[in-house]
Amino acid sequence: MEFNRVIEGRRSIRSFEPVDVEDEKVKEILEAISYVPSAHNLQDYEVFVIKGQAKRKSLVFAALGQDFVEQAPVVFVVCADTEKEGTKKGYLYSIESASMAAYMICLKAYELGLGSCWIGAFNEDDLKDILQLPAKLMPVAMITVGYTKENPAMPKRRDDYYHLID
């Protein structure tokens, strides 16, 4: 697929078909994540792939009641490893790396014919408890992925977000 079609076609999807996502597609998404750049090539992120119905249902609680989390056949939870660099700046780097990994999931999912939604509204402590995450991992995003039931229109885009400086 042409890159511009991917970035222009991707939408936040909150309604999914009750169809499993093939393991091969999950593996392709995970492989794409491995190409995400990171400061000093630390690769300071961890990704958890949740496919089980019971665990996805428990994630709805952490996601503040967003029930489409349970509908999605796959939920990726992307975490920053905030201790890998060992410096205050490294804390920021890990969040940046994890954010790029999360967006890579969204782009690759779309290329594979899947819908996705980045979820940033969640209770971090509840999510850490549900997934039994170590203290050094900070959840940055939950990404729901599946075959979409909807095809939302392109939202209005801003054209005043950039500033050219000579």
What stretches of 49-87 show up as alpha helix (H) in DSSP? 53-62, 68-71
The answer to whether residue 27 sits within a structural domain is yes
* pLDDT tens per residue across all 166 residues of the chain: 699 889 889 999 999 999 999 999 999 999 999 999 998 888 999 999 999 999 999 999 999 999 999 999 999 999 999 888 766 676 889 999 999 999 999 999 999 999 999 999 999 999 999 999 999 999 999 999 999 998 877 788 888 888 989 9
* Domain extent at residue 106: 3-146
The pTM for the full model equals 0.93
CA distance 12 to 42: 29
The answer to whether residue 162 sits within a structural domain is no
Q: What total number of domains does the chain contain? A: 1
CATH code, domain carrying 81: 3.40.109.10
CA distance 11 to 166: 34
Pick left, alpha or beta for residue 26 (phi over 0 → left; psi -120 to 50 → alpha; otherwise beta).
alpha
Count of CB atoms situated within 10 Å of the CB of 92: 14
